[in-house]
Amino acid sequence: MLHIKLVKSPIGNNARNRRIVVALGLRKLHQTVVHNDTPSIRGMVHRVKHMLEVKEGPAPELAAVAPTVAKAKTVKETKPKAEVAPKPKTAKKQATKEAE
């Protein structure tokens, strides 16, 4: 596993390098992402190595990566809403409809 950290801003670099940084999943300075060690990731890292800090390390434990399970909320019983009577039309609206 590769731990990749963005340490230099992609501003001022060419568009290709900026797109590579975004493709690696890096959005902010000092943000760290973890990727599998594959040739395609290695090639992307090599292109923008001047902006990154890369460490090889073991995969993070699944317990730390797994999202916490939220407690189930109880469903509240709701009372049916009373039917609302339509709003009375104003005299102007009635007069224009009758004129048509």
Query: Over the chain (100 residues), what is each successive 10-residue block's mean pLDDT?
Result: 94 95 95 94 95 85 49 58 67 64
Which strands make up the sheet holding 52-56, listed edge to edge?
Answer: 32-35, 2-6, 52-56
pLDDT at 66: 47
pLDDT at 91: 62
pLDDT at 63: 43
pLDDT at 57: 83
Cβ count near 17 (within 10 Å): 16
Residue 7 identity (one-letter amino acid): V
Enter the CATH code of domain 2-60. 3.30.1390.20
The encoded tokens of residue 6 equal 């963005």
Who contacts 42 (Cβ-Cβ below 8 Å, separation ≥6)? Answer: 2
